[in-house]
């Protein structure tokens, strides 16, 4: 592979890692934790089930994709589809697991377990 390919691969990897970090931050930030702590067990279970459905589809259905990309719009379309698959297979389960962890931690501490952050966000 030429050096530009490795460079683009590294940029894509950093972008996907950044999406994971942004998802983790969105779930674990101080303003979100108390909201998640007030969710019902049914809402947490629904989120976990919804996050598991794409993996069940991958596990049950043998999916083979073969693509011929000859134009830029087709490339952009397939990259968009790959990003959608990443969101469904990685970011959604990540958010579900983190939300379940926040909820479980709050309920082990007590009903009002998650304290509010001060104005500095600590």
Checking if the pLDDT of 47 tops 70, the result is yes
In a domain, 116, yes or no: no
- Identify which of 18-32, 57-71, 108-122 has the greatest average pLDDT: 18-32
Q: What is the mean pLDDT of residues 113-122?
A: 55
Q: pLDDT tens for residues 71-106?
A: 888 888 998 999 999 999 999 999 999 999 999 999
Contact 33, 102 (CB under 8 A): yes
Contact 85, 16 (CB under 8 A): no
In a domain, 96, yes or no: yes
Domain that holds residue 104: 3-109
In a domain, 121, yes or no: no
Domain count, the chain: 1
Please give the span between the terminal C-alpha atoms of the chain, in angstroms, as a whole number: 46
Q: What is the pTM of this model?
A: 0.79
In a domain, 56, yes or no: yes
59/2: higher pLDDT: 59
Checking if the pLDDT of 1 tops 80, the result is no
What per-residue confidence (pLDDT) applies to 75? 87
What per-residue confidence (pLDDT) applies to 16? 93
What per-residue confidence (pLDDT) applies to 40? 93
Contact 107, 44 (CB under 8 A): no
In a domain, 114, yes or no: no
In a domain, 18, yes or no: yes
In a domain, 120, yes or no: no
**Chain-wide mean pLDDT for the chain?**
87
Give dist(CA 82, CA 8) in Å, integer.
15
Picking from 27, 46, 23, 45, the residue whose alpha carbon sits closest to that of residue 36 is: 27
What per-residue confidence (pLDDT) applies to 117? 57
């Amino acid at each position: 592979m030429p050096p530009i390919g490795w460079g683009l691969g590294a940029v894509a990897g950093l972008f996907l890692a950044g999406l994971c970090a942004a998802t983790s931050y969105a779930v674990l930030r101080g303003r979100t934790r108390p909201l998640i702590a007030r969710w019902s067990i049914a809402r947490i279970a629904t989120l976990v089930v919804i996050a598991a459905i794409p993996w069940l589809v991958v596990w049950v259905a043998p999916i083979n994709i073969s693509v011929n990309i000859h134009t830029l719009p087709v490339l952009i379309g397939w990259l968009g589809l790959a990003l959608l698959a990443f969101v469904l297979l990685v970011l959604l389960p990540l958010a579900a697991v983190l939300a379940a962890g926040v909820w479980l931690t709050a309920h082990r501490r007590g009903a009002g377990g998650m304290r509010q952050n001060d104005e500095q966000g600590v």
